[in-house]
Amino acid sequence: MKNIGGLLIDLDGTLFHGGRMIPGADKLIEGLRTAGIPFLFVTNNSSRTAAGVAAHLQGMGIAAKPEEVCTSSLAAARYIAGELPEARVAILGEEGLIDACTAAGLKIVEDDPQYVVQGIYRAFTYDSLARASRWIMGGAKFVLTNPDLMLPSDDGVMPGAGTIGAAIEAASGVAPVVIGKPEAHLITYAASILGIKPEEAVVVGDNMRTDISAGVNAGCRTVLVLTGLTTEENLEHYKTVTGVTPDEICRDLAELMAMLGV
């Protein structure tokens, strides 16, 4: 794979599983730095700040800086600020989303918002649902950070931002603008941070439904690594389900490094 303007690298399932680094992840990032290949860590996770994501990576031995992290919260906040600077936003989300909206110059309000922006929100209640639905039916634009229905946790899977978003959509009758993977917004925003066009970017990830589909939707080249959700056994199934095919497939991160020459 030649003429790479930058890599947009997924996290969970690609560089780590929960709190455990996938073998070779630290060497991959070291190799990219040494080779001078630009990259960003790109995640649908909306709960953590960029600094929090970087700290999580550092704790596993993967060198990371906050400015190398692009989250769905950051992309959502920039999307709103790009449409309407200093917009009034009601946030149904956690630290990462609040921090991103504040940094983007948006006005966080408790009533009469112009936008309702929602991510993972573990304090979500019936009242939250009622208020969000009323605002959206009243004309506020509904923005969803990411459509993940379920998330892994130490106690098993738990409902994700997409599950909450589905409840709000059902109550309000309005579909959200989805920012995170598999939609293109997060990927195109990450490419813009690197100062490159989507066609110059290469999306690296383990999930055909999210990572690879998002890369295709954004017009990027894609590399699937068989380190997480997608395996040799279920690859053909996911190709059929998603209707997409990665440009390259690597069995592990060592094979990815060899392909990149790092």
Q: Catalytic: 12?
A: yes
Q: Catalytic: 111?
A: no
Tell me the C-alpha distance between 93 and 109, whole Å: 13
- Which of 12, 99, 206, 211 does the annotation list as catalytic? 12
Alpha-carbon distance values, 110 to 16, 35, 88, 90 (Å): 37, 48, 9, 6
Tell me the C-alpha distance between 2 and 5, whole Å: 9
Q: Which of 187, 250, 234, 193 is nearest to 213 (CA)?
A: 187
- Which of 10, 99, 148, 211 does the annotation list as catalytic? 10
Locate 15 and state its tokens.
Answer: 């560089």
Active-site residue list:
10, 12
